[in-house]
Amino acid sequence: MKAYVLKDAKPTFSFEEVKLPMLKESEVVVNLGAAAMNHRDVWISKGMYAGLKYPVILGSDGAGWLDGEEVIINPGQGWGKNESYHGKNFKILGLPENGTFAQQAITERKYIYTKPAHLTIKQAAALPLAGLTAYRALFKRGKLQNGEKLLISGIGGGVALIALKFGLAAGAQVYVTSSEQEKIDKAINLGAAGGFLYTLDNWGIAALKETGGIDVVIDGAGGNGFDQLIDVCNVGGRIINYGGSAGKITRIMPQKVFWKHLNILGSTMGSDRDFEQMVSFVNTHRIVPIIDSVFELKDAALGFERMDSAQQFGKIVFSIPPIV
């Protein structure tokens, strides 16, 4: 099969012929029709990730066919028995194991799920990692309720956009932040109640007034601006952080955290049960992930460039040619 292989952290990629290894008894081979990118792929390609190894086929998201059925793969593997957090054997598909940027992917059969019927193969490929992350962050960690106010920082990323769709489907009033008014406008077109430019000083206090206070924040950035997420919260607010694209959180006033009885909750991926419930939620509400752009797998470098410069609004998808 052909695969898009990462050779080193320069990074060097090569679209080349790769031979599948022998399968273990519990494993299956999925013939992929589409894959999708996550920020994780960019970090790994730059050597900024734990447990690097080369060569490796990246890619956590994929949709395709197994035994004539349309399927998606749960990329969060080996979570363990404790629903509260993952165990030591937890792995994400696409490092250390080879991932979905290839014509075929090997995975244990228990991570195969039926593709939601209302999604195309490309849309389905855009769902797994972002959907799982957003679902757990919103509902398991954030315990988002119908009628609550939800703020999603950095709208445009895959998790942020699917969180927007999930939040609306759950009956929340959804606000967003971005550095670009254009992305805020797009989010409002999708159903957001409003948005805030995080490039403005002290936007948090203004947003607190405009929204009447936020109950749940979904944040994948951290960074210097994290204190604004604290300012915008209601008493009892829940801030769920699933990423650190803006680096270290550099200023938090403890007085605001304890006086507001805040909950700052780390969340990453989700359990097998979370994935199953996420897929069910997507089916029930007929949710469609937003696709930013589609590249052919052999041109995946274009996707890496696009994500690295934060141009995207939605998922970057790779179209995968069938084995002939």
Would you count residue 293 as binding a copy of itself (CB under 8 A)?
A: no
Would you count residue 158 as binding a copy of itself (CB under 8 A)?
A: no
CA 318, distance to chain mean position in Å, is: 16
Would you count residue 231 as binding a copy of itself (CB under 8 A)?
A: no
Would you count residue 143 as binding a copy of itself (CB under 8 A)?
A: no
Please, which residue, 84 or 189, has the CB nearer to a copy of itself?
A: 84
Contacts of 250 (CB under 8 A, 6+ apart): 223, 224, 226
Would you count residue 127 as binding a copy of itself (CB under 8 A)?
A: no
Out of 266, 284, 286, 322, point to the residue binding a copy of itself (CB under 8 A).
266
Least CB distance from residue 38 to a copy of itself, whole Å?
14
Q: Are 243 and 266 in contact (CB under 8 A)?
A: no
Out of 33, 62, 156, 222, point to the residue binding a copy of itself (CB under 8 A).
222
Would you count residue 241 as binding a copy of itself (CB under 8 A)?
A: yes
Would you count residue 259 as binding a copy of itself (CB under 8 A)?
A: yes
> What distance separates the 2 farthest-apart alpha carbons in the chain?
63
Q: Which stretch binds a copy of itself (CB under 8 A): 164-172, 264-272, 273-281, 284-292?
A: 264-272
Q: Which stretch binds a copy of itself (CB under 8 A): 98-106, 177-185, 245-253, 313-321?
A: 245-253
Contacts of 307 (CB under 8 A, 6+ apart): 37, 39, 41, 42, 316
Would you count residue 260 as binding a copy of itself (CB under 8 A)?
A: yes
CB count, 10 Å around CB of 227? Answer: 17
Which phi and psi angles does 135 have, rounded to 5°? Answer: -65, -50
Taking the C-alpha atoms of residue 27 and residue 111, their distance in angstroms, rounded to an integer, is 10
The CA angle 311-247-5, to the nearest 5 degrees, is: 55
Out of 21, 258, 309, 324, point to the residue binding a copy of itself (CB under 8 A).
258
Would you count residue 84 as binding a copy of itself (CB under 8 A)?
A: yes
Taking the C-alpha atoms of residue 198 and residue 176, their distance in angstroms, rounded to an integer, is 10
Would you count residue 224 as binding a copy of itself (CB under 8 A)?
A: no
Taking the C-alpha atoms of residue 84 and residue 135, their distance in angstroms, rounded to an integer, is 14
Taking the C-alpha atoms of residue 153 and residue 125, their distance in angstroms, rounded to an integer, is 23
Would you count residue 250 as binding a copy of itself (CB under 8 A)?
A: yes
Taking the C-alpha atoms of residue 202 and residue 199, their distance in angstroms, rounded to an integer, is 9
Please, which residue, 187 or 264, has the CB nearer to a copy of itself?
A: 264
Would you count residue 146 as binding a copy of itself (CB under 8 A)?
A: no
Q: Are 142 and 170 in contact (CB under 8 A)?
A: no
* Number of residues in the chain: 324
Least CB distance from residue 223 to a copy of itself, whole Å?
8
Q: Which stretch binds a copy of itself (CB under 8 A): 13-21, 116-124, 266-274, 276-284?
A: 266-274
- Summarize as ranges the residues that interact with a copy of itself (CB under 8 A): 82, 84-86, 221-223, 235-236, 241-244, 247-268
